[in-house]
C-alpha cells in the first residue's frame, strides 16, 4: 500500500513515541495536518509559532525527551526561530518540522518561501532539507537520534509540500531514533582526578545543567559528601541539589550570593560538572577561581577548555564518570575547616529583604509564599528579568526539572508557553509561571491556548510597571538615565485574563496579599494573578556585567533575613 | 559545506581559504581550510568535529597558503585565494 510523505512523517513520529505536538498549520504544511487528522497524535494549536516552539520546549524540559513543534513555510518558520535558538543555547532536545514550498519553486521567491535551512543552520545542532519522501525514512529517526544524543539540542526538518504529497510504498520501517551513548571516558583520566580531588584542600563542585541532563544529581551529592566539598549551581542546575543540603551554596555568578562567589575565590580546586563557564556564572573569566586548579567533566568535548584551560579534561556521561570516580574514593575525606568556612560564608551573606510585615509584596516574600502554597513537585517556569533572578535566588527547588527557565538565550515570552508544555507533559502536577509585566505580553496570546486546554497553570505576574531588569541596569550603570524602561500605559492584566476566559485576579496590597495569594493558588485550574510590586526593587547582589564576581553590588539598606528562614 | 563555513563565521575563527574536493561517488568531500594564525586552533578542531556532517578532522602542517594558490585558475582578477574572511 502506498503512503504519502505526510503519512510517512506522521507514522515515523508515532514510532518515536510522540503523542503530543504543538504547532500552527498553513499552506505548505497542510498535507501533514491532513495526515494528522486520523492519527492518535494530539495536536496543540498554539496561537503563535513561537508559542508552539516553547510549548514543545516545556514538554522537553519537563521530561528530558525530545518534543516536536510544527509550522508552515515562510512566516511560520521565521516565527519558530527564537524558540529553536533558545533550545540550542540551553541544550534542549527539540525537533522542529516546517513546511516548505514545493521543490520546483525553491529559489524562485515563491509565496511564503524563506530559506529555512539557511536560517536554522546556525541555531540548530543539525538541520535537514528533505528532498524526497524516501529520505524521510532516514532523516526523521536521525533527527531524534541527534536531538537526544550526547549534548542534546534542536534539530530542524524542512519538508517541501510536494515531498509531503509524494506517494511511496514503504517496505520496511526504520528503527526509531534513540540517543546514542557517549564514548566512555578513559580510566586514567578518572584515576588522576580522584587523586587530585583527594589531595585538594579547598575543593568546590561547580554544577551546571548537564548534571540534570545526565541524571547525575544523586552521584553529585554523594561525591560532595564523600569529599566534603561544597557545591555551587548555575541557573540551569537549580533543582539538582536541594537548597538545604549543608554543602550546597546555591547559585553562583551575577546574582549569586556574595558568600557563594567568595568561596570560589578561595577554592584551590574547581570541579566543573556539566557546566560551560558561561559569563553570567563566571563574571570576568580571567578572575574566576583565581587560585583553583580546574577539572572539567562534560559530555561535549568542545566545551572543555573553551573558556578556561583545565588540568583535568573528562569527556563523557556525568552519571557514568561520577559513579566510577566514587568507586575510586571509597574512604570519606574529612575537611572540617573548609566545610566550616563554607558554612560561615553562607551564613554571613544571606539574601536581603525587608521584614515581611513592612513590605509583604517584596518579591522574596512572594516567592516564599508561592513555595509554601504549592506541592514540592510543582513545576515553575519564569520569563526573563528581575522576577526570574528572584525565583532563582530564593525558590527552594528540590527536584530536577521543576525549574524551567530560559538561561542561555534569556528569552522574554518563554514562561507561559513553556508552562503549558510542562503541564501537558506532567498531568496532575501544579505548574506556575512567574512572569513580569513586560515579558508576559510577549506571548500573551497563549492565554487563549491555556483557556482552551484548561490546564492547572497559574500565571503570576510580578508587576512593577517597568522592564525591571533594564530599569535596574539604568539605575546602577547608566547614571539613572531611564530610557524606554517604563510603561506609561498598563493593561489591566486580570481583566485581560478574564477576556481570554481565565480566572483573573489582582492582589490587594492593602489586605493580606500573601494569604490571598496562597488561597488563589489552592484553587484548581488555570488563572492569572497580577501582583503589584514596588517599582524600585532591585535584584541584589548584582555583579556589573563584565566585572569580576567579587565586585558584586549589594543592598546595605535592607535588613538581612535568610531567604530560607 | 555550509555547516563548516558557517561555523567559522559564527564563532569568529579566522579562515583565509577553502578548497573543497568531492571524494569517490560525491557522497563525501574533503575540505581543506587555511586557518593561519588562529590562536584557538584546538577549539576550531573540536567545534568542527562535533558537526554531524564532519567525518574526520586532521591537521595538515605539510600544506601552505601557496598550495591553495596553485589551484586557482590563472584568471588575472583572481589574485587572492577564494574564501571567507570574517
Ligand atoms: C525577547 C527579549 N527582548 C528583550 C530582552 C532584554 N530584557 C531582559 S530583561 C528585560 C525586562 C523584563 O521586564 P519584565 O518582564 O517586566 O520583568 P522584570 O525585570 O520587571 O521582572 C528586557 C527587556 C530579552 N531578554 N528578551
In a mutational test of the B interface, the residue from A118, A302, A309 whose CB has the highest number of chain B CBs within 10 Å is A302
Calculated CA dihedral for residues B39, B43, B46, B52, nearest 10 degrees: -110
In a mutational test of the B interface, the residue from A119, A125, A306, A313 whose CB has the highest number of chain B CBs within 10 Å is A306
* Cβ neighbours of residue A330 closer than 8 Å, sequence gap 6 or more: none
pLDDT tens by residue, A27-46 = 999 999 999 998 999 999 99
From residue B69, alpha-carbon distances to A260, A429, A450 in Å are 55, 64, 61
A-B interface: how many C-beta pairs under 8 angstroms?
24
Contact B2 A300 (CB under 8 A): no
The answer, yes or no, to whether the previous bond of A541 is cis (omega within 30 of 0) is yes
Q: What is the pLDDT of residue B10?
A: 87
pLDDT tens by residue, B20-69 = 989 988 889 999 999 888 888 889 999 999 999 999 999 998 988 888 88
Ligand 1 pocket mutation, candidates A363, A366, A466, A469, criterion most atoms within 8 A of CB: A469
Considering only residues A357 and A85, tell me which one the structure prediction assigns the higher pLDDT. Answer: A85
In a mutational test of the A interface, the residue from B46, B48, B54 whose CB has the highest number of chain A CBs within 10 Å is B46
Contact A121 B47 (CB under 8 A): no
Beta carbon of A113 within 6 Å of any ligand 1 atom: no
* Cβ neighbours of residue A332 closer than 8 Å, sequence gap 6 or more: A225, A226, A228
pLDDT grade, residue A460 (50/70/90)? very high
Among candidates B43, B49, B52 on the partner chain, residue whose Cβ is nearest the Cβ of A306: B43
Return the C-alpha cell found at A288: 574566576
Are A407 and A235 in contact by the 8 Å Cβ rule? The answer is yes
The single residue listed with the C-alpha cell 555568578 is: A253
Return the C-alpha cell found at A422: 510542562
Calculated CA dihedral for residues B71, B73, B78, B84, nearest 10 degrees: -40
Give this prediction's pTM.
0.95
Q: What is the pLDDT of residue A556?
A: 56
For chain A, list residues whose CB is within 8 angstroms of any CB belonging to chain B: 118, 121-122, 125-126, 146, 300-302, 305-306
Beta carbon of A254 within 6 Å of any ligand 1 atom: no
In DSSP terms, which residues pair with A503 in a beta bridge?
Answer: A527
**Spatial distance between the Cα atoms of B13 and A558, rounded to a whole number of angstroms:** 47
Determine the residue of chain B that is closest to A302 in CA distance.
B46
**With contacts defined as CB-CB under 8 Å, which chain A residues touch B43?**
302, 305-306
> Is the model's pLDDT at B80 over the cut of 50?
no
Taking the centre of ligand 1 as the mean of its atom positions, its distance from the CA of residue A173, in whole angstroms, is 46
Our CA-based measurement puts residue A304 at a distance from the nearest CA of chain B, in whole angstroms, of 9
| Element housing A207 (H / E) | strand A203-207
Taking the centre of ligand 1 as the mean of its atom positions, its distance from the CA of residue A387, in whole angstroms, is 10
Our CA-based measurement puts residue A123 at a distance from the nearest CA of chain B, in whole angstroms, of 10
**With contacts defined as CB-CB under 8 Å, which chain A residues touch B2?**
118, 121
> Is the model's pLDDT at A344 over the cut of 60?
yes
Our CA-based measurement puts residue B31 at a distance from the nearest CA of chain A, in whole angstroms, of 19
Among candidates A118, A146, A302 on the partner chain, residue whose Cβ is nearest the Cβ of B47: A302
State the alpha helices, DSSP H only, in B21-80: 41-49, 65-70
Taking the centre of ligand 1 as the mean of its atom positions, its distance from the CA of residue A477, in whole angstroms, is 17
Beta carbon of A387 within 6 Å of any ligand 1 atom: yes
Q: What is the pLDDT of residue A126?
A: 97
Taking the centre of ligand 1 as the mean of its atom positions, its distance from the CA of residue A279, in whole angstroms, is 18
**With contacts defined as CB-CB under 8 Å, which chain B residues touch A300?**
50
pLDDT tens by residue, A314-327 = 999 999 999 999 99
ipTM above 0.95, yes or no: no
* Cβ neighbours of residue A519 closer than 8 Å, sequence gap 6 or more: none
* Cβ neighbours of residue A37 closer than 8 Å, sequence gap 6 or more: none
**Spatial distance between the Cα atoms of A260 and A253, rounded to a whole number of angstroms:** 8
Phi, psi of A278 (to 5 degrees): -65, 150
Among candidates B10, B50, B53 on the partner chain, residue whose Cβ is nearest the Cβ of A302: B50
pLDDT tens by residue, A60-85 = 999 999 999 999 999 999 999 999 99
Beta carbon of A316 within 6 Å of any ligand 1 atom: no
CB neighbour burial string for A55-87, b if at least 16 within 10 angstroms, e if fewer: bbbbbbbbebbbbbbbbbbbebbbbbbbbbbbb
Percent of chain A exceeding pLDDT 70 equals 98
**With contacts defined as CB-CB under 8 Å, which chain A residues touch B51?**
126
Our CA-based measurement puts residue A306 at a distance from the nearest CA of chain B, in whole angstroms, of 7
Average pLDDT, chain A: 96
Taking the centre of ligand 1 as the mean of its atom positions, its distance from the CA of residue A350, in whole angstroms, is 26
* The residue count for chain A: 565
Q: What is the pLDDT of residue B37?
A: 81
Q: What is the pLDDT of residue A50?
A: 99
Among candidates A126, A146, A301 on the partner chain, residue whose Cβ is nearest the Cβ of B46: A301
Contact A302 B10 (CB under 8 A): no
| Element housing B2 (H / E) | helix B2-11
Return the C-alpha cell found at A467: 522592564
- Across the range A417-435, mean pLDDT stands at 98
> Is the model's pLDDT at A195 over the cut of 60?
yes
The single residue listed with the C-alpha cell 489552592 is: A522
With DSSP H G I counted as helix, E B as strand and the rest as coil, what are the percentages for chain A, rounded to 5? 40, 20, 40
Determine the residue of chain A that is closest to B3 in CA distance.
A121
Are A120 and A114 in contact by the 8 Å Cβ rule? The answer is no
Please give the sequence-ordered ranges of beta strands (E in DSSP) within A19-78, or none if there are none. 20-23, 42-45, 67-71
**Spatial distance between the Cα atoms of A170 and A444, rounded to a whole number of angstroms:** 43
- Across the range A235-258, mean pLDDT stands at 97
Considering only CA atoms, which residue is closest to atom 5 of ligand 1? A412
Return the C-alpha cell found at A250: 546555591
Q: Determine which of A302-306, A328-332, A411-415, B10-14 has the lowest per-residue pLDDT on average.
A: B10-14
**Spatial distance between the Cα atoms of A81 and A326, rounded to a whole number of angstroms:** 42
Amino acid at each position: 500500500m502506498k503512503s504519502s510523505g505526510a503519512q510517512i512523517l506522521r507514522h515515523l513520529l508515532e514510532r518515536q513515541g510522540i503523542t503530543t505536538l504543538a504547532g500552527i498549520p498553513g499552506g505548505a504544511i497542510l498535507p501533514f495536518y491532513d495526515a494528522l487528522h486520523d492519527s492518535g497524535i494530539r495536536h496543540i494549536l498554539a496561537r503563535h509559532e513561537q508559542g508552539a516552539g516553547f510549548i514543545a520546549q516545556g514538554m522537553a524540559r519537563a521530561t528530558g525527551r525530545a518534543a516536536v513543534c510544527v509550522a508552515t513555510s515562510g512566516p511560520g518558520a521565521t516565527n519558530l526561530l527564537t524558540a529553536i535558538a533558545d533550545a540550542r543555547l540551553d541544550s534542549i532536545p527539540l525537533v522542529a518540522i516546517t513546511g516548505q514550498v514545493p521543490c520546483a519553486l525553491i529559489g524562485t521567491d515563491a509565496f511564503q518561501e524563506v530559506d529555512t535551512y539557511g536560517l536554522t543552520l546556525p541555531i540548530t545542532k543539525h538541520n535537514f532539507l528533505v528532498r524526497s519522501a524516501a529520505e524521510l525514512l532516514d532523516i526523521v529517526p536521525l533527527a531524534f537520534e541527534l536531538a537526544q544524543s550526547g549534548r542534546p539540542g534542536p534539530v530542524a526538518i524542512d519538508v517541501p509540500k510536494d515531498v509531503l504529497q509524494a506517494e511511496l510504498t514503504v517496505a520496511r520501517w526504520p528503527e526509531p531514533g534513540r540517543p546514542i551513548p557517549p564514548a566512555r571516558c578513559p580510566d586514567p583520566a578518572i584515576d588522576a582526578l580522584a587523586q587530585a580531588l583527594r589531595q585538594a584542600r579547598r575543593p568546590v563542585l561547580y554544577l551546571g545543567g548537564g548534571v540534570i541532563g545526565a541524571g547525575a544529581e544523586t552521584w553529585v551529592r554523594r561525591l560532595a559528601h564523600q569529599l566534603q566539598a561544597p557545591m555551587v549551581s548555575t541557573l540551569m542546575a537549580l533543582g539538582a541539589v536541594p537548597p538545604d543540603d549543608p554543602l550546597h551554596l546555591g547559585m553562583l555568578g551575577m546574582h549569586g550570593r556574595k558568600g557563594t562567589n567568595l568561596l570560589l575565590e578561595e577554592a584551590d580546586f574547581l570541579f566543573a560538572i556539566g557546566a560551560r563557564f558561561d559569563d553570567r556564572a563566571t563574571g570576568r573569566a580571567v578572575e574566576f577561581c583565581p587560585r583553583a586548579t580546574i577539572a572539567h567533566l562534560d559530555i561535549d568535548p568542545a566545551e572543555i577548555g573553551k573558556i578556561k584551560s583545565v588540568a583535568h579534561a573528562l569527556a563523557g556521561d556525568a552519571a557514568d564518570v561520577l559513579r566510577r570516580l566514587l568507586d575510586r574514593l571509597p574512604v570519606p575525606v574529612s575537611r572540617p575547616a573548609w566545610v566550616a568556612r563554607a558554612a560561615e560564608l553562607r551564613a554571613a551573606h544571606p539574601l536581603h529583604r525587608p521584614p515581611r510585615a513592612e513590605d509583604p509584596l517584596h518579591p522574596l516574600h512572594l516567592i516564599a509564599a508561592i513555595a509554601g502554597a504549592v506541592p514540592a513537585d510543582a513545576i515553575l517556569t519564569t520569563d526573563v528579568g528581575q522576577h526570574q533572578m528572584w525565583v532563582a535566588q530564593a525558590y527552594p527547588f528540590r527536584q530536577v526539572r521543576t525549574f524551567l527557565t530560559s538561561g542561555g538565550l534569556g528569552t522574554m515570552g518563554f514562561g507561559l508557553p513553556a508552562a503549558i508544555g510542562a503541564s501537558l507533559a506532567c498531568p496532575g502536577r501544579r505548574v506556575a509561571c512567574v512572569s513580569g509585566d513586560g515579558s508576559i505580553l510577549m506571548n500573551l496570546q497563549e492565554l487563549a491556548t491555556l483557556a482552551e486546554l484548561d490546564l492547572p497553570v497559574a500565571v503570576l505576574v510580578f508587576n512593577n510597571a517597568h522592564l525591571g531588569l533594564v530599569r535596574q541596569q539604568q539605575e546602577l550603570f547608566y547614571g539613572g538615565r531611564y530610557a524606554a524602561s517604563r510603561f506609561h500605559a498598563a493593561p489591566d492584566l486580570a481583566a485581560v485574563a478574564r477576556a481570554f476566559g481565565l480566572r483573573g485576579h489582582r492582589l490587594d496590597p492593602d489586605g493580606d496579599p500573601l494569604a490571598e495569594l496562597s488561597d488563589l493558588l489552592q484553587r484548581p485550574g488555570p488563572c492569572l494573578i497580577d501582583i503589584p510590586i514596588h517599582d524600585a526593587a532591585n535584584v541584589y547582589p548584582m555583579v556589573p556585567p563584565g566585572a569580576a564576581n567579587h565586585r558584586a553590588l549589594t543592598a546595605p539598606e535592607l535588613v538581612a533575613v535568610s531567604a530560607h528562614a | 559545506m555550509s555547516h563548516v563555513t558557517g561555523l567559522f563565521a559564527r564563532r569568529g575563527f579566522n579562515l583565509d581559504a577553502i578548497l573543497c574536493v568531492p571524494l569517490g561517488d560525491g557522497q563525501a568531500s574533503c575540505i581543506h581550510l587555511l586557518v593561519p594564525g588562529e590562536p584557538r586552533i584546538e577549539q576550531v578542531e573540536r567545534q568542527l568535529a562535533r558537526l554531524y556532517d564532519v567525518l574526520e578532522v586532521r591537521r595538515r602542517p605539510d600544506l601552505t597558503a601557496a598550495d591553495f594558490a596553485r589551484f586557482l585558475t590563472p584568471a588575472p582578477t583572481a589574485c587572492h585565494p577564494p574564501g571567507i574572511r570574517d
